[in-house]
Structure formats: structure tokens, C-alpha cells
Amino acid sequence: MPAPHRVVIAVFPGVDLLDVTGPAEVFALASRELPGTPYEVLLAGPDGGQVRTSAGVRVGVDLTFDQVGDRVDTLVVPGALGPDGAPVIDPELVGWIVGTARHARRVASVCVGAHLLAAAGLLAGRTATTHWATADRLAADHPDVTVDPDPIYVRSGNVWTGAGISACMDLALALVAEDQGERVALAVARQLVMYLKRPGGQSQFSVPLWQAPTERRDIDELRAWIIANPAADLSAAALAERLCLSERHFARIFRQETGGTPAAFVEAARVEEARRLLECTDDPLGRVAAACGLGSAETLHRAFRRRLGTTPAAYRRRFRTAA
């Protein structure tokens, strides 16, 4: 059995608690979805013992920085803000990041952790994001970094940067999707009751597909099936048949349980899948439309205009993830 993918999360005094626990929980849930133990999550700190976070909660350290060594698959660097609201930049921490990043297969920052990566020289010549409140400062302090404050995460080669606070979960889900595939990431997102596979584009574009559970398990299971099978026959008649209901009764129950129509949910699921494909592939628009069940480039265009107020081509130009 191959060695587990080692995720090392840096912790230090004042670190944002969610920046640490959010990614750790995503990787832990991914391990539950797969045989064996695909992820080993370790917290590394300047010293042994415990570290007091920004929330006052103490977390235990698995390894000191000196003990980490060169076996790191993913290095996660959270951030911290000082009393003046400025990102904390500790020279010793930056030096450790420089050395550890040389051995890591990929490096990811969470929130204002991007300032630490920039100080370590890891963002030079790259596009990066951070918490919107410190984006201007990051750009001013590091003119060699192209700072984009809009996306919830940005990938540039093997370096990933995430936006503020809860976006750490989206970033970690994207890392899981890269390692294990979209289906595993989707399963983890469901466990977390999160927005489904929120792409790296602007957060206000996100569509809350996986809503809170309804009182009917069959409706919840149907929604999950729709999301996982956007290219299938998702007509009202076909969906009603899956639940062994008349089309009229099915439409009434779906609206009663979810507050919307089956057609609206299906289109939202298909647009979300189209967004993912536009961000992650160079497939032509016709192929994207077919893969997400929208049929044609014209239908894809209309759906994007209706739901996102932009065109598929413009969306791709803006949010295509750099490999």
C-alpha cells in the first residue's frame, strides 16, 4: 500500500483557527471516503507542545518545524493578523517556509498566509489571492505578484492561494479533487453541508446547490444524483419516474421541499458543472455544453447570461485556472 499523502499545516502563535482546522477536516473526511488512509495530516509548529490560536483555542503540535524533514506532499500555510490588523510576518517562519517548500509537491496558503508565501518569494511572477481586506497591502508590498482579490482561490502551477476565512474549505476541496477526483470532493462537500464544488471564480457567482437536508430523503438523494449526473436525462418526466411519482405530484413535492422548481435546480447544477469545466479545461464550448447536459453552445450561452450575467467565453478568460 502506498504511503499516505502527507499534509503539513504550519501553526504558530496567533494563527487563525479556522485556517488550520478547516483544511484538516476536509482532508480527514476525504480519508473516510476512501480505502486505507490516503491523507496524513500533521500540524507543525516552532516548538513542541501547544500553540494558542487567534481564537484563544490551543492546538497540539505533531512535529516541530525542525522535525518535518523533506517528506511533504502538501504544505499548507495559514495566516495571522497582528493587533494593528497587519499580516504577521515572522522571519524565522518565512525561512522555514522557504526551505520546506523546496521539497513539497505543492504549497497552499490560506487567507493572509499569502503574505507569508510572498515574503518567502514563492509568489513572484504568479497570480495570487488573499483576504480582500489585505489584497491592496499584498500588492503594494510585493509588486512582483499579480494580486486578484476576487477569486476564492487561485492556482498557479504547484502554488495555490486561498481567500479569506471559510474559503479555506473550498481551497482544500479543490486540492482533494485534484488528488482523488471530483466525486470524492463532492462527497466531502456533502458531509460538510457546503456549496457544491465552489470553483475558484468570484464567490458571488456561486450557486448553493447542496442545500440543507429536506424532510424527504428521496428528494435529497435525487438532488445529489442530479449534481453527479448533469448530462443525464433530467427532464421532469424522467426525474418523476425515478421517484415513482406522477410528474405533477413530483413537481409539487420538489417545490414544497426545496422552494424551487426541478428545472431551476437542474439548470443550476448544469451551469455549476459548466463553470468547473471552463475553469479547469480548454474544451471547446460545444463540448462543455454537451458534458454538462446543456446540449449546445447557444443554450450554454443563454444559461450563463441568465444565471451569471456573463458569457461562457468571458467567464473562461477571467477564471481559467493556470495549471
Nearest to 129 by CA among 192, 63, 79: 79
Q: What are the residues facing 107 on neighbouring strands? A: 75, 159
**244 in active site:** no
Compute the distance between CA of residue 49 and CA of residue 93 in angstroms, rounded to an integer.
17
Alpha helices in the chain (DSSP H): 17-33, 91-101, 113-119, 135-141, 167-180, 182-191, 217-228, 236-242, 247-258, 262-280, 285-291, 297-308, 312-319
Residue of 111, 168, 280, 292 marked catalytic: 111
Nearest to 24 by CA among 171, 148, 149: 171
Nearest to 10 by CA among 66, 56, 75, 70: 75
Residues noted as catalytic: 111
